[in-house]
Amino acid sequence: MSVVQEKHIPVLYGELIESLHFFETGKNIVVDCTLGLGGHASWVLQKLGKWDVFIGLDCDTDNLASATARLLEVLKDVKKESQPTVYCIHSNFSELDEVVTNIWKYAPINQWKTLSELGKLTCVYADLGVSSVHFDTPERGFSFRFDGPLDMRLDSSRGKTAADLIDTLPYEKMAEIFRVYGDESRAGFIAKKIIEARTIAPIKTTKELGDIVIKAWRDSLPRIFQALRIAVNDEYASLEKMLKTACDNLAPNGTLSIISFHSGEDRIVKHFFREKSTPERDSITGQDTTPGILEIVTKKPITPSDREIADNSRSRSALLRVARKK
């Protein structure tokens, strides 16, 4: 196992695993939408058998390679004929519909035979946000703690970088991104300062952007970086699309478990669960016409214990919400 994997600590590890509902009859189909370094997945695999399917998605090719190696290591202790079928797929979770609809396009990491189709999903889970590896790698450009290229793409193979957005966004759009994605009260003022700076010289590095924001208002720095990262990766729209696909494809009693890290993400999850658990009503009679399709398992989000926060300070803001398909 690599040094990076050894340092990696999955957030709300036990709580997430406990929330998953496995069918005793077998034929579980489990989807990890944010495979990362395989922390949660390595435990899930130990619960699955020969008739089960595990699908891990990640848009970061480095993470995907590390997770694949880790899961193959786990599978070494299981006889080939008793192993679940395991997929590790390079994909953003917004493309979950493409994956479950066209599973025949992908090759399992441990079996020679591909599946022609999938049934309904047993468990879908996601650990949202950016991994510690991304924040701790200056070359990825996620953190203002290091000087590096202003990139912020979760998938380095495609899409515009943060530097591209900073260089081209008009004032109104930049301010909107800071306000909506970062809850930044000084969004307009900071956007104005950035645009003034870019007319003098291109803003290409995390340090260059950080220096501008610090001069404008130091306390806004983490919110500006968060907002820019969300915009670069279209995180909110991707989350909404994934939630809908997961809900549509869940089997009865199947579970949807989501760990979020800031208010914007959590708000999307909370509202989606509430919407899908609320019966549709006739606008004239006020009578329920169609029952809700989800049951909310966590009336309040599950938060890390004091012990976990002490061991891993980055878990402090984590919130786990769970729903079950009716």
**pLDDT 10s digits, 92-130:** 999 999 999 999 999 999 988 889 999 999 999 999 978
pLDDT at 7: 47
Confidence band, pLDDT 50/70/90 cuts, at residue 8: low
Integer Cα distance of 222 and 215 in angstroms:
14
> Which CATH code for domain 139-233?
1.10.150.170
What is the average per-residue pLDDT within 234-257? 98
Q: Where are the alpha helices (DSSP H) in 183-281?
A: 187-198, 206-217, 221-233, 235-249, 263-277
What is the average per-residue pLDDT within 31-55? 95
Cβ of 257: how many Cβ atoms within 10 Å?
Answer: 27
To which CATH superfamily is domain 3-131+236-325 assigned? Vaccinia Virus protein VP39 (3.40.50.150)
Tell whether the model's pLDDT for residue 3 goes beyond 70: no
Please say whether the beta carbons of 56 and 71 come within 8 A.
yes
Tell whether the model's pLDDT for residue 80 goes beyond 60: yes
The residue ranges of every structural domain in the chain are 3-131+236-325, 139-233
